[in-house]
Amino acid sequence: MDKRQLKNGRITVGHTIYAFRDGGMERGLLNLINYGDQDHFRHIILCLTDAGAFAKLLDAPNCEVVELKKREGNDWRLPWRIAQAARSHAIDVLHARGWPAMVETAVGAQLAHVPATVYTFHGKTFEELQGVSFKRRWIQRAVIRRYQRVLTLNGCMRADLAAECSLAEDLIHIVANGVAAEIFRPREDATELRGEFSLPTGRIILGNVARLDPVKNHEVILRALALISDRNRRPFFLLVGEGPHRSALQRMIEQLGLAPDVHLFGYSDRIPELLNCMDLYVQSSFYEGFSNTVLEAMACGLPVLATDVGGTGDILTEGREGFFFRPDDVERLTALILRLAGDARLRRGLGECGRRRVEELFTVQSMVLKYENIYRELVFRTNRAESSAFGAR
């Protein structure tokens, strides 16, 4: 371990991530840094490609963002760049986030002799849900064993990763996401906020915040709205986020005649305010890890309709904070939307339960403490091993 870090008592954690742009994984990293113990931890974000919009939201003076400018495809120089960054920043723990960072981070850590390594499985893309190659499975099984600690977000994901990598489940640790409940909270100025964002003030608004990607399955929401032929009963749909699937969604909106009833808002850094413009939240994904946006919606007092995939079942209880539907069950989703749209008392009761659940189980402070304890344990264990080896000489 670098002697300077021992003197000031600060552990330097490097996070390798494909890019630091809008997304659940990125939001979790942002919260870890902004709400973390800045007296005892310093964070370096190593973007394999380039930094994204989230870099501007960092609120930690000791944090640095490094762009490694990865080339398209396999870039054999990337592990050397990771190693160089690890050495120059005296990184004590190198934390790889997701498959795109797994292999190169493991190699870079070995080249730089980084004392401790962590890998977190954050979920799957739409393409990965269709299956991955034998070559990738073989590489993943081999490389994941190079990490001293393997993490994921919930029990379902742990079982999935254990099966794919032939690991014992007890070797995979769970750290659930957390939300800043003091920022994501119910507000009393919803009408004024709707006016500020040019949203309808006299209609029920259902919403979703997500990257526009096929895995998010926004089509089922559009089809559900189209089944509500009476426009007086049809809610307005506010979809916040950006991504490669935007043009396909726009075409579908036009084909279904929903243009007056749907707003593709695009990227925004004012998510707490936009959530407070909504009356109910719909999460329609084919796959989720441990959704930050569902937690944020619940923290804002919104009832949630969600697909029971990934870790969402660990967040919601059927009939208590919201309701579940299958990703392809447009009829049930339509019925649930109409039920909640027509029952303000039910919406309020579900939203209050969701807010309490977040405050009890899913605060950002709890998440941050778990990560920091893992980093401390790994560094102190490494120090003890090095001291024992030195004493034996």
Region 75-100 average pLDDT: 96
State the average pLDDT over residues 48-63: 89
CB neighbourhood size of 168 (10 A): 7
Q: Does the pLDDT of residue 390 top 70, yes or no?
A: no
Q: Report the distance separating Cα 22 and Cα 359, nearest Å.
A: 24
Average pLDDT value for the chain: 92
Residue 381, pLDDT > 50, answer yes
What tokens does 140 get? 């993943």
Is 113's pLDDT higher than 70? Answer: yes
Mean pLDDT of 23-52: 93
DSSP state of 392: T
Interatomic CA distance for residues 369 and 40, integer angstroms: 12
Among 1-5, 200-204, 240-244, 300-304, the range scoring the smallest mean pLDDT is: 1-5
Model pLDDT, residue 125? 75
What one-character-per-residue DSSP string does 320-386 give? TTEEEE-TT-HHHHHHHHHHHHT-HHHHHHHHHHHHHHHHHH-BHHHHHHHHHHHHHHHHHHHHHHH
Percent of the chain predicted with pLDDT > 90: 78
Question: How is residue 27 written in tokens?
Answer: 């939001």
Higher-pLDDT residue of 388 and 271 is 271
Domain 3-178+363-391 fold: Rossmann fold (3.40.50)
This prediction's pTM: 0.83
Domain boundaries, the chain: 3-178+363-391, 190-361
**For residue 1, pLDDT beyond 60:** no
What is the percent of the chain with per-residue pLDDT over 70, rounded to a whole number? Answer: 95
Q: Do 190-361 and 3-178+363-391 fall under one CATH topology?
A: yes
Q: Which CATH architecture has domain 190-361?
A: 3-Layer(aba) Sandwich (3.40)
Reply yes or no on whether the pLDDT at 137 is more than 80. Answer: yes
pLDDT score of 239: 98
Which one, of 80, 76, 23, 73, lies nearest residue 46 by Cα? 80
Q: Which amino acid is at 306?
A: A
Cβ atoms 205, 279 nearer than 8 A: yes
pLDDT of residue 391: 52
| For residue 147, pLDDT beyond 70 | yes
Confidence of residue 6 (pLDDT cuts 50, 70, 90): very low
**Residue 388 above 70 pLDDT?**
no
- Please state the rounded mean pLDDT for residues 290-301: 94
**Is residue 241's pLDDT more than 70?**
yes
Closest CA to 315 of 369, 275, 279, 354: 354
Hunting for tokens 């890890």 — which residue is that? 289
pLDDT of residue 384: 62
- Average pLDDT of 5-15? 76
> What average pLDDT does this structure show over 79-97?
97
Q: For CA atoms 196, 202, 208, 214, give the dihedral sign.
A: negative
CA distances in angstroms from 112 to 43, 99, 240, listed in the order given? 17, 20, 41
Q: Residue 218 — φ and ψ, nearest 5°?
A: -65, -20
Answer whether residue 68 shows pLDDT above 50: yes
Alpha-carbon span 261 to 206, nearest angstrom: 11
User: What is the C-alpha to C-alpha distance for residues 61 and 356, in angstroms, rounded to an integer?
Assistant: 33
